[in-house]
Structure 1
Amino acid sequence: MQYLIGIVIVVIYSGMTFYIGWNFNLWLASINIHISNLIFWPLLYVVAFGFVLGRIHELLRPLSVLGNYWMFIFEYGLILCIIANIVVFITPLTARTTGSVAVIIFIVLFIYGTYNAYSPVVRETTVKLDVDEPMTFVVASDFHLGVLSNKAHLQRFVTLSNGQNPDVVLLVGDLVDDKPDLFIKKGMGEVMAQLKSTYGVYGVLGNHEYYGNALQLIVDELEKANVKMLLDETILVGERFYLTGQEDKTNKARKQIADLAPIERDKPWVVMNHTPDDLNAPANAGVDLHLSGHTHLGQLWPNEYITRKIFELDYGYKNKEGMHALVSSGFGFWGPPMRIGSRSELWVIHVESK
């Protein structure tokens, strides 16, 4: 059954790709640009399946990069082609005029999306907890460090984070994109190690760390970069608050949040859990501040309408039965290095006494 479903998905995807290619070819012909079918169609499908082909062998990795960009082309190409076909059908406008406008819109979206991905912003919120003195948390997730979310982008985070003079830095999963080979090769750990805070830098695993079958190597490399990885464990940070790093739900053997509760409850309890799939359990367990990522806020419009349906909280802040919950859209990106309807970000949480 899974094999059959896979075939159906590939057929539908290939058909949609053909639809985009057919429209683009039609527009090219309208402006007197003609590409041989023997070149156009094979090239189109190699790019369309580049994300998969690029994972077969190291030498094919450039195809993976093309495949990442294709995700953007596919989504907005499909939307623009449908709109353009409707416009041509119901108005006297020609395919050449309508196609040209669609191409211009696509280029604008491409530039705008790239800017949003590589120009992160700092967002701030304030929560009140039972603390003696105020604290500042820097929170970020979903770096997906690798080919496109690269060393330079990580340096932007370090610069922004250090500028906040935080008491603690919390990295909430999907720090590395599947495999840590580029993280190691490009010396990203050296950049990560530049993070400064009073009580240290702490991280948890997300779903993508599990996908590359190099989990222990990822943990080791992040630890070398002075990121204390919390794997289903709770610690006391600076005698100020309890911090739990819960394994991502990808790990079917992860502990329940109630089993990770601190024995003493004399200080605030902060939890990092990459995927915000369940806010009821931590709220019932008495968590004071729950931090997540994973959703990317859909990353590309209109995907946020999907994440809103899946998650109780897919972005931003919510008070859940007295528990402060925050979900970040992430500092990096997955797939295409573009964001539309979202923005690469880090959060600064100002913790004040009640």
Structure 2
Amino acid sequence: MGYGWIIVFLLVLLLGCGYVSWHVWQILPLAVVGKWIVVGALLLCIVCFFTNFILGLDNKPMPIAITLYEVGNSAVFVGLYLLLLFLVLDLGRLLHLVPRSFLYNSWAGTVSVVVIMIGLFVYGYFNYLHKERVPLTLQSAKPMKQQHRLVMMTDLHLGYHNRADEFRKWVDKVNEEQPEAILIAGDIIDGSIRALIDQDMAAEFRRLKAPVYACLGNHEYLSGEPRAKKFYQDAGIHLLIDNHSVVPLAGGDSILIVGRDDRTNKKRASLQHLMKFAPKSYYTILMDHQPYHLEEAQQAGIDFQLSGHTHYGQVWPVSWIEDLIYEDAFGPLQKGNTQYYVSSGIGIWGGKFRIGTRSEYVVADIK
């Protein structure tokens, strides 16, 4: 992960905080003390985000770390939608569609903003909790004696917010599908391996009733790659880092699964180099966390590529930005004989809100 986008993000966040704070101050029909209390509380939540980001949470007791994470990271999304809402109201004022009095010391304006925000984030929370089952058919040009089912996931982001009690429900959903193998294309860990160890999430992985294959994502590097590898070993996960594995399936069939290192590692092997040492007779699935340079899989003769990373922006209108960045920011794609699926992820980073996007897992049948 580069640091340029982080600096830009933090600068935009600071400017947005100033704009939102000014408008909240203006619209509140309260005395100066009341305005300071409300604006101060909002800014304190944003400060939580910065302190979490800079100082980390691993040195704090778990209940405090969980609270700081959820408050600070949720505040970013609340701030985004307050920013959008006030921009719309400002535009309406300039076009004489919204009276100026609505934005200044106004009970009507304040109540309207509060109701809209509560409604939006209640919807976003329950939309996040729903895990969409995405059926996918993979057509194999290689001979298969029978149909085979795989479950695929990306971006679990387990940690201080996606905790063991929630992950337990995901495990149950996966087991209900009775897959022959489970593929996870990166970002199992959100940012702290300590949160997974303290909650014994390795035990939940061991409840999965099919072998699990995974590749690294950028968040594994944030959490400390060596410790992430140790967790995968304890969880019984087959971690493929610039490596491949022939996976036996029912009826004597087999498939080849290739796992790339995340592009955070600038020294990762090229896909062309990886495929030089891989057998060519199997249906081949590539796990590559970040969906850049999709043409490489087609050129390497990959049958199917699974990626994630984008979360499809998590919330609108960030999803529109993702569409500008990636050739395929979300969903299926076909390039020549290669099928692709970029998942929006079953988990989430930051606040537990999905607005205009979905949390999902893929149930793929190879025919």
> TM > 0.5 between the two?
yes
1:226 pairs, out of 230, 236, 258, with: 236
| Structure 1 residue 101, shift from structure 2 partner | 1.9
Is the 8 Å Cα contact of residues 151 and 188 (structure 1) preserved in structure 2?
yes
* CA spacing shift, 1:160–1:11, aligned 2, 3 Å: closer
Q: d(CA) in 2 for partners of 1:68 and 1:191? A: 26
2:346 counterpart residue number: 331
Q: d(CA) in 1 for partners of 2:86 and 2:268? A: 44
* 2:324 equivalent to 1:309: yes
* CA spacing shift, 1:8–1:115, aligned 2, 3 Å: closer
* CA spacing shift, 1:6–1:211, aligned 2, 3 Å: closer
* 2:74 equivalent to 1:63: no
| Structure 1 residue 171, shift from structure 2 partner | 0.6
- Counting only pairs closer than 5 Å after superposition, residues 97-246 of structure 1 correspond to structure 2 as 97-129=108-140, 130=142, 131-197=144-210, 200-212=211-223, 214-238=224-248, 240-246=254-260
Deviation per CA, 1:127-166: give whole Å up to 9, x if none. 1102221111100010111111111221121111111110
| Structure 1 residue 336, shift from structure 2 partner | 1.4
* CA spacing shift, 1:107–1:221, aligned 2, 3 Å: same
Tell me the TM-score normalised to structure 2 length. Answer: 0.88
Q: d(CA) in 2 for partners of 1:4 and 1:318? A: 29
**RMSD of the alignment, in Å?**
2.4
Q: d(CA) in 2 for partners of 1:16 and 1:302? A: 15
* CA spacing shift, 1:8–1:229, aligned 2, 3 Å: closer
| Structure 1 residue 94, shift from structure 2 partner | 2.4
1:269 pairs, out of 284, 287, 296, with: 284
Deviation per CA, 1:292-337: give whole Å up to 9, x if none. 0001011100111111111111111111111011110001001111
2:263 counterpart residue number: 249
Classify the secondary structure of the residue corresponding to 1:274.
Answer: coil
Q: d(CA) in 2 for partners of 1:70 and 1:346? A: 27
Structure 1: give runs of 5+ residues left out of the alignment: none
Classify the secondary structure of the residue corresponding to 1:278.
Answer: coil
1:296 counterpart residue number: 311
* CA spacing shift, 1:233–1:332, aligned 2, 3 Å: same
Q: d(CA) in 1 for partners of 2:126 and 2:3? A: 39
1:85 counterpart residue number: 90
Classify the secondary structure of the residue corresponding to 1:54.
Answer: helix
2:52 pairs, out of 51, 54, 58, with: 54
Q: d(CA) in 2 for partners of 1:4 and 1:165? A: 43
Q: d(CA) in 1 for partners of 2:298 and 2:291? A: 12
Structure 2: give runs of 5+ residues left out of the alignment: none
Give the number of aligned pairs.
346
Is the 8 Å Cα contact of residues 117 and 343 (structure 1) preserved in structure 2?
yes
* CA spacing shift, 1:33–1:105, aligned 2, 3 Å: farther
Classify the secondary structure of the residue corresponding to 2:152.
Answer: strand
Q: Which amino acid aligns with 1:47?
A: C
| Structure 1 residue 33, shift from structure 2 partner | 6.7
Is the 8 Å Cα contact of residues 244 and 259 (structure 2) preserved in structure 1?
yes
Tell me the TM-score normalised to structure 1 length. Answer: 0.91
Q: Which moved more, 1:235-244 or 1:136-145?
A: 235-244
Is the 8 Å Cα contact of residues 154 and 188 (structure 2) preserved in structure 1?
yes
